[in-house]
Amino acid sequence: MDNCIFCKIAAGEIPSRKAYEDDRVLAFYDLEPQAPTHILVIPKQHIAWANDITPENSADIAHIFEVIPQIAKDLGFTDYRIINNCGDQAGQSVKHLHFHVLSGRDFTWPPG
């Protein structure tokens, strides 16, 4: 999608430090890490937010949740937090669906 920063990262038009890639999913390190390990996992196809997950595209989202444990295994961590911010009030700043994977420190609950 034009003017979507994560579509440009998925297409390789904007550089990123990749953690994992296949034909449907890209995982790359967040520019402003909030934990010792902070990876963003995105579908390569443009889906704006979790509200746009449908029966037609949900296989790629399921695939993301197969990829995340694989990334954790490859990077050698077992404990982590997965976050999806859906919408402005939830703190979504980039309107291309992404899952934050954070690891390497303690996390509080509730998240605030």
Catalytic residue among 38, 63, 96, 98: 98
Q: CB-wise, 56 or 108, nearer to ligand 5GP? A: 108
Q: Footprint of Zn ion on residues 36-65 (CB under 5 A)?
A: 46
What is the helix (H) or strand (E) element at residue 59, kind and residue range?
helix 58-75
SS3 content of the chain, % helix, strand, coil (to 5): 25, 20, 50
Compose the 23-52 pattern: x for residues touching ligand 5GP by CB under 6 A, - for all others.
Answer: -----xxxxx-------x------------
Per-position b or e across 4-25, b if 16+ CB within 10 A of its CB: eebbbbbeeeeebeebbeeeeb
How far apart, in whole angstroms, are the C-alpha atoms of residue 66 and residue 44?
Answer: 15
Question: Which listed residue (91, 110, 111, 112) binds ligand 5GP by CB under 6 A?
Answer: 91
**Using an 8 Å Cβ cutoff, are 103 and 37 in contact?**
yes
Which of 54, 78, 93, 108 touches ligand 5GP by CB under 6 A? 93
Residues that bind ligand 5GP (CB under 6 A): 5, 14, 16, 28-32, 40, 85, 91-94
Residues that bind Zn ion (CB under 5 A): 1, 4, 6-7, 46, 96
